[in-house]
Structure 1
Amino acid sequence: MLATDLLVFSSILSGWYFFSCLVSLPKTLNSTSGSCLLIPCLFNISKEKESILDNSPVVTWRRGSLWSLYDTDRFTIAHHQMEPVMEVVGDLRKKNCTSVMRNLSSQHSDRYFFRIETKTFTTTETRAVYINVSGGRAPQRTSFWPNVTVPVLREGEKVNLTCTAPAPCPSHPPNVIWAPALGGDVTQRTQMNTDGTQSVSAILNFIPSFHHHELKVNCVSIHPLPREDKPLLSHKTVILSLEYPPKKTWISLTGVVWLGSNVTLTCQSNANPPAFHRWFLKRAGVEEELNISHALSFTVAQDNTGEYICEAQNPYGAKNSTNLQITVPGQPVLETVSPFIVTLHFGPSRSHQIGIYYFYSCCFFYTFARTHFSIFKSLFQNFLHSELKSSLCGLNCGSFNNNKKFK
């Protein structure tokens, strides 16, 4: 490559002596086999030399790999066929040398040097543009992949998602689409980039909802290939991150509510960013703030009776859970009705009569099971009446006295 550069430089010295030309063009351009390629090109010459542009100048692009063969007898028709079909689409009188290469194949990948000739002067640019033509159906360069721009997404605020794909061949621009379109409107536009190349953008305008959070959205660019039966597909997937207020707040309870037991209330909510939680206890129509935490744990006592409320809040709003009513059962009073029947009083309006032997059997087995075998305790809990089960936790089974009452 160094030898070629020196050869190019030495070959154009005489041309530069009479005619200097400053060319502006990209360093590298990418295309794919079967397509075409736009080469943005501008040049500048001194004002006293501008008149030569009226003398039908000819622009060519010389391949670096064939440089030593140009202008010699060794340059054959076979070598000429190795050059891509080239068309100058810019207005040379306006110093625009933009050109289009057509019917490209992977064999056309090379360095190309801009050359302008008139009847009087000839010059060749020393800096080359490297043309990379990928073969096969999949693009080998990331420059073919679409680029996606996603702003901050907030629920209810209209926003644009922009997907941009390169358009190396202006006569066959890509079709850029969004999938899914999220119920929005999609518009396409073609724009000129700062380096003179072109691109096509698909702009998706929609109003985001919290249902779109963590949704995968695809931008697909479809590049038609004039010499191929099927187009070239490229895509990029993005996962949307949406900011929204709490949409659902609920309380889950761990443990069984009876005197002396340990329970935990956990507050959960659907929000982004995640919400913080505040706890309230409502008794006799009065709400009392308890704590600011994700979970609330306590040992059950009589004063824990009431309605528990969790409020979830983030910068975009707040939402309360439904009220969770917790009623702590009191200490029951037991009295005998007959030598074989006892009555359990759970207050002025609730009582249950059970056999005395059944009661003592329950008391014995439940006390033994909860002390020694947690699995028996679990099985026995499902068997016992809920209020009897609660009472057994707070009673001393041996306290049945001569007054026929439990204290």
Structure 2
Amino acid sequence: MKTYLSSPRTALRMFAADLLVFSSILSAACCQTILKVSVPKTLNSTSGSCLLIPCLFDIKKEKENLLDSSAVTWRRGSLWSLYDTPNFNDAQAQKEPAVEVVGELRQKNCTSVMRNLSSQHSDRYYFRIETSLGLKNFSMTDTKAVYINVSDSLAKPTVTMPVLREGERVNLTCTAPAPCPSHPPNVKWAPALGDEITQTTLNADGTLSVSAILSFVPSLHHHELKVNCVSIHPLHREDKPLLSAKTVTLSVEYPPKKTWISLTGSVWLGSNVTLACQSNANPPATHRWLIKRAGVEEELGISDVLAFTATQEHTGEYICWAQNPYGAMNSTNLQITVPGISFTAFLSVLAALTCLVLALLFIVIYRRYKEPIRNDTSQDENIYANMSTSAVKSQQFQPKPCEDEMTCNINPIYKLKQTTPDESIYANY
């Protein structure tokens, strides 16, 4: 955006022009009625657009009859010395913005519209009334000027956003200046979160602005959502419309929605334990700690972090309460049991048990390698034992000689055939 004092040389040139204008007006004011004009100090517009200049003036009552035959002009401060000279020809005048007075002079309203503006038209402008009294010209000019700044780009719109609370309907207002009443900007919200209306407002200094009012009910899902306020300005020329936007991040206030406890460190006798309470809430919640033992709750304090050196007295259920101005919520109970042995002692016992297990494993492996030798000897002994047993059994079932012939005849099992030795020999052959 172009500024009035863009460089020391420009500042010096503008100061010289203002000094010339002031001295010229002051010299004329010695004999003439001073014109008092009320205009804004600064007005902004865009190249290719127009500009509404709110203007009111006041003169003495006896001079009001001059307004019927008066001509109204706006003179640039930097060209003041050229207006009444032959050097200010028609070609130079055509480069100046076209001016139209839309106010009623008889009602002392000098509101005007400038058209075909460009960035080269940025300057101080003075309201001037010129009239003719017979053969004598009469003019009135006030020392008060309006600085008109014409930029090639658009200024970002402004956003008015109240406090957003979950479940309560609110209005978000996006406002863009409307320097050209015949071509007001199109202002809208993106994304469209609810109902939207557009209205034109007359500001205190007489300028106009266009606002888009977005009405919706915020929820947790809208928190940290980015929304855009977009302003589209149509132009008199055939160029594409200029677009300007401002992005805002919504901050929705809501009660705690989730609360949890995280544990850092190992729980052993004498170890350092840290409990951290976290919650999802806006504004951030305060956290209150409780411990529950044998059904009785005891308050431990208010903090985000609870740290202690573990003893058996710290055994219990830990609870964290999160609270902000909109509500409260407790966490799930965290059971902590502190064993009666320290971590170092536990490691010593674990090392001893490990050594014992390794020793037993060594003995088992050693005996495993010795067992095959003893098993072979035992197998041989079993074979010989089985053979002896079979021999004994065969002798027990061998038939005994029968001495008593009558007995042998009675018991056919033990009856033996009487043979002679010769028959036995031949029989064997």
TM-score (norm 2): 0.69
Give how far 1:197 is off: 1.2
CA deviations on 1:362-403 (whole Å, 9 max, x unpaired) are: 7899xxxxxxxxxxxxxxxxxxxxxxxxxxxxxxxxxxxxxx
C-alpha distance in structure 1 between counterparts of 2:23 and 2:266, whole Å: 93
Q: What amino acid maps onto 1:35 in structure 2?
A: S
C-alpha distance in structure 1 between counterparts of 2:21 and 2:313, whole Å: 95
Query: Is residue 2:52 matched to residue 1:38?
Result: yes
Q: What amino acid maps onto 2:157 in structure 1?
A: P
Q: Kindly indicate whether the alpha-carbon contact (under 8 Å) linking 1:15 and 1:122 is maintained by their aligned counterparts in 2.
A: no
Query: Is residue 2:248 matched to residue 1:238?
Result: yes
C-alpha distance in structure 2 between counterparts of 1:10 and 1:358, whole Å: 103
Q: Kindly indicate whether the alpha-carbon contact (under 8 Å) linking 1:255 and 1:262 is maintained by their aligned counterparts in 2.
A: yes
Map 1:313-392 to 2 at 5 A: 313-328=323-338, 360-361=353-354
CA deviations on 1:29-82 (whole Å, 9 max, x unpaired) are: 2211111111111111122222233x2432111223332232333321111112
Query: Is residue 2:169 matched to residue 1:158?
Result: yes
Q: Could you say which residue in structure 2 is the equivalent of 1:286?
A: 296
Q: Could you say which residue in structure 1 is the equivalent of 2:260?
A: 250
Q: Could you say which residue in structure 2 is the equivalent of 1:102?
A: 115
Map 1:8-407 to 2 at 5 A: 8-9=21-22, 11-12=24-25, 13-14=27-28, 17-53=31-67, 55-120=68-133, 121-135=138-152, 138-139=153-154, 144-181=155-192, 183-328=193-338, 360-361=353-354
Q: What amino acid maps onto 2:206 in structure 1?
A: G
C-alpha distance in structure 1 between counterparts of 2:99 and 2:304, whole Å: 69
Give how far 1:312 is off: 0.9
C-alpha distance in structure 1 between counterparts of 2:320 and 2:24, whole Å: 83
C-alpha distance in structure 1 between counterparts of 2:226 and 2:356, whole Å: 58
Q: What amino acid maps onto 2:140 in structure 1?
A: T
Give how far 1:154 is off: 2.7
C-alpha distance in structure 2 between counterparts of 1:64 and 1:82, whole Å: 15
Q: Which has the higher helix share?
A: 2
C-alpha distance in structure 1 between counterparts of 2:168 and 2:274, whole Å: 38
C-alpha distance in structure 1 between counterparts of 2:289 and 2:119, whole Å: 68
Q: Kindly indicate whether the alpha-carbon contact (under 8 Å) linking 2:99 and 2:112 is maintained by their aligned counterparts in 1.
A: yes
Q: Could you say which residue in structure 2 is the equivalent of 1:340?
A: none
Q: Could you say which residue in structure 1 is the equivalent of 2:378?
A: none
Give how far 1:7 is off: 4.3
Q: Kindly indicate whether the alpha-carbon contact (under 8 Å) linking 1:19 and 1:122 is maintained by their aligned counterparts in 2.
A: no
TM-aligned CA distance change 1:325 to 1:84, over 3 Å? same
C-alpha distance in structure 2 between counterparts of 1:46 and 1:81, whole Å: 34
Give how far 1:16 is off: 6.6
C-alpha distance in structure 1 between counterparts of 2:234 and 2:50, whole Å: 10
C-alpha distance in structure 1 between counterparts of 2:22 and 2:267, whole Å: 92
Give how far 1:179 is off: 2.6
Give how far 1:161 is off: 2.2
C-alpha distance in structure 1 between counterparts of 2:79 and 2:308, whole Å: 86
C-alpha distance in structure 2 between counterparts of 1:363 and 1:122, whole Å: 118
TM-aligned CA distance change 1:4 to 1:259, over 3 Å? closer
Structure 2 unmatched ranges of 5 or more: 1-13, 342-349, 359-429
CA deviations on 1:270-327 (whole Å, 9 max, x unpaired) are: 1233222222223443323233322233444545443321111122221001122334
Q: What amino acid maps onto 1:129 in structure 2?
A: V
Give how far 1:2 is off: 5.0
Secondary structure, in 3 states, of the residue corresponding to 1:133?
Answer: strand
C-alpha distance in structure 1 between counterparts of 2:22 and 2:290, whole Å: 83
CA deviations on 1:87-129 (whole Å, 9 max, x unpaired) are: 1111112111111111111222222221112333422233322
* Count of residues in correspondence between the two structures: 333
C-alpha distance in structure 2 between counterparts of 1:298 and 1:82, whole Å: 81
C-alpha distance in structure 1 between counterparts of 2:94 and 2:147, whole Å: 19
Q: Could you say which residue in structure 2 is the equivalent of 1:388?
A: none
TM-score (norm 1): 0.73
Secondary structure, in 3 states, of the residue corresponding to 1:93?
Answer: helix
C-alpha distance in structure 2 between counterparts of 1:14 and 1:302, whole Å: 99
Q: Kindly indicate whether the alpha-carbon contact (under 8 Å) linking 2:34 and 2:142 is maintained by their aligned counterparts in 1.
A: no
Q: Kindly indicate whether the alpha-carbon contact (under 8 Å) linking 2:38 and 2:55 is maintained by their aligned counterparts in 1.
A: yes
Secondary structure, in 3 states, of the residue corresponding to 2:21?
Answer: helix
Give how far 1:231 is off: 1.6
Q: What amino acid maps onto 2:214 in structure 1?
A: L
Give how far 1:157 is off: 2.8
Indicate the RMSD between aligned Cα atoms, in angstroms: 2.9
Q: What amino acid maps onto 1:162 in structure 2?
A: T
Q: Which protein is bigger by CA-based radius of gyration?
A: 2
Give how far 1:249 is off: 0.3
Q: Kindly indicate whether the alpha-carbon contact (under 8 Å) linking 2:188 and 2:230 is maintained by their aligned counterparts in 1.
A: yes
